């Protein structure tokens, strides 16, 4: 019976993903947009040195590359990284937590599906032995069935714990951003 309840809760990842990842993608998009604007602001002085106010590029390809290899551009980029390091780290942690959550959600879905199947097989086998063959199930078979069920259940429990940890990270960074 527990397998049916677990399958109902974790078998279909669509609803679970919607509830757990609500806002995570929005936060990622907002952070990405912010970092894009910040990077554009950081390289603006270099672009203004390359293309004067007239808007005509009067330089060669090599001179352009030298400008991007130059100390001024490196200083601009260094300032960007230093200033927006927290946002870049937050973005990476949020993306990683969402990916890990999805990875473990797949595992728990298949684990619950396996748990459901194992329980169904043992229920049918025990019923067949008791009702049709009129023989009790041997102690060894009963212990083996409980052991297999316990291992699959422990795997599902582990998956749920890791998913909760990832969800907590997502919630923390999502709330920090939004």
pLDDT score for 126? 83
Note the pLDDT tens digit of each residue in 128-177.
Answer: 877 777 788 788 888 988 899 899 889 988 998 998 898 888 888 888 87
Find, among 154, 145, 28, 163, the residue nearest to 101 by Cα: 163
pLDDT score for 136? 81
Find, among 77, 79, 55, 80, the residue nearest to 67 by Cα: 77
- Specify burial of residue 29 (Cβ count, 10 A radius: 0-12, 13-18, 19+): exposed
Tokens at residue 89, please? 């780290």
pLDDT score for 35? 92
Q: Cβ–Cβ contacts within 10 Å for residue 59, how many?
A: 14
- Give the mean pLDDT per block of 10 residues along the chain (178 residues): 58 62 82 92 84 66 80 90 92 92 88 86 82 80 88 90 89 81
pLDDT score for 85? 92
pTM of the model: 0.71
pLDDT score for 2? 61
pLDDT score for 6? 59
* Whole-angstrom distance, CA of residue 101 vs CA of residue 13: 11
pLDDT score for 36? 92
pLDDT score for 8? 56
């Amino acid at each position: 019976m527990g397998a049916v309840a677990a399958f109902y809760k974790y078998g279909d990842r669509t609803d679970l993903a919607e509830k757990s990842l609500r806002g995570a993608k929005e936060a990622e998009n907002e952070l990405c947009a912010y970092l894009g604007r910040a990077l554009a602001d950081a390289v603006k002085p270099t672009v203004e040195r390359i293309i004067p106010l007239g808007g005509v590029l009067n330089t060669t390809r090599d001179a352009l590359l030298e400008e991007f290899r130059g100390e001024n551009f490196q200083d601009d980029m260094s300032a960007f990284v230093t200033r927006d390091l927290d946002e870049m780290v937050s973005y990476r942690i949020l993306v990683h937590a969402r990916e890990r959550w999805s990875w473990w959600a797949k595992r728990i879905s298949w684990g619950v599906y396996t748990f459901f199947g194992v329980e169904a097989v043992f229920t049918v086998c025990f019923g067949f032995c008791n009702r049709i063959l009129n023989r009790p199930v041997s102690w060894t078979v009963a212990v083996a069935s409980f052991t297999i069920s316990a291992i699959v259940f422990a795997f599902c429990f582990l998956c749920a714990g890791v998913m909760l940890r990832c969800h907590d990270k997502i919630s923390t960074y999502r709330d920090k951003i939004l």
